[in-house]
Amino acid sequence: MGGVIPEICVIKLINMNNTNSISGKTVIILGGSAGIGLATAKLAAQEGARVIIASGNQARIDAALQQLPAGSQGYAVDLSKEESIAGFFKTIGAFDHLIYTAGENLSLSPIVEADIEKARSFFNVRYWGAYTAIKYGAPKIKQGGSIVLTSGAAGRRGGASWSAASSICAAMEGLTRSLAIELAPIRVNCIVPGFVKTNLWDYLDSETRETMYANAASALPVKYVAGPEDIALSYIYLLKQPYSTGESLLVDGGHVLI
C-alpha cells in the first residue's frame, strides 16, 4: 500500500476532526458556578471551548468567571423558573453543547415522615430545570452538538431515606434515553456521579462531613472520594464521543458495587 491512505481512513480522520474536538465550540453549563459544573467549565475551556455558565447566584457567577479564561460569559438564571430559563435562551445565540449540573441540597427522610410538598419540590431544579432547559435550548444546538445531563448513583443503589433522591436520579436516566431518540441527531447523555466533595454537602457541619467522606473513602474500592475535577473528565468525554447517545455513565468509585 506504500504511503496511500485507504479512503475509509480518510473519512474517519475527517470525522474525528469535525466532531471529536471541543476546541472552538460553545459549551453552556447550567449550574456552572460551583462544584462539578465549574470543574467541567474549566476543563472545557482548557480544551479550547468558549464557555457560558449560568446559575442562580450572581456573586458566585462572578467568582467563577475569575477562574475561567477571558471571553467566558456568565448569566444569572433561576433554573426553577420557566420564564427565567426561556429568557436566558432568548439572549443566547446558537451553541454546540449543553451541560446541566444544577442541583441544590436535599434533606433526606423516611417516606412515612416525608413532607410531600417538599419532596415534590426537590424535582424542581434537578429534573424540571433540565427538562425546561432542553425545551428552550435544544432548538439552538448546532449540527454535531450534544446534551449531557446529571443524575446520581442513588438512582442505581437504593438506601433508607433516599427515596426522593433516588427517584430524581432514575428519572434523569429515563429522560436521557427518550430524548436521545426524540432529539436525534443531537446526542443526549447523562453522568451518574457517586460521592463527590462539593458545596452540596456544606449543609452538614464540618465534622459530620469529614467523617462521612472518611467512611465513604474506606468503603469504596478506589479508596478515596472524588473531587469535582474527576467527574468533569466524564462530561468532556461524552461531549467528544460521537458514538454515544442515550448513555448514562456511572462515575462512582465503585459505590454501587459495595
Ligand X SMILES: NC(=O)c1ccc[n+]([C@@H]2O[C@H](COP(=O)([O-])OP(=O)(O)OC[C@H]3O[C@@H](n4cnc5c(N)ncnc54)[C@H](OP(=O)(O)O)[C@@H]3O)[C@@H](O)[C@H]2O)c1
User: Cβ 149 to ligand X, closest distance in Å?
Assistant: 9
User: Cβ 72 to ligand X, closest distance in Å?
Assistant: 14
Distance (Å, whole) CA 232 – CA 51: 14
Residues that bind ligand X (CB under 6 A): 31, 33-37, 55-57, 60, 77-80, 101-104, 125-126, 150, 152, 193, 195-196, 198-200, 228
User: Cβ 59 to ligand X, closest distance in Å?
Assistant: 8
Nearer to ligand X (CB atom), residue 95 or residue 195: 195
H/E/C letters for each residue in 28-90? EEECCCCHHHHHHHHHHHHCCCEEEEEECCHHHHHHHHHCCCCCCEEEECCCCCHHHHHHHHH
H-helix segments, the chain: 7-19, 35-46, 58-66, 82-91, 116-123, 129-137, 163-182, 206-219, 228-240
Q: Which residue is nearest to ligand X, using beta carbons?
A: 35
Distance (Å, whole) CA 179 – CA 247: 11
Nearer to ligand X (CB atom), residue 17 or residue 218: 218
Nearer to ligand X (CB atom), residue 19 or residue 126: 126
Nearer to ligand X (CB atom), residue 129 or residue 145: 129
User: Cβ 36 to ligand X, closest distance in Å?
Assistant: 4
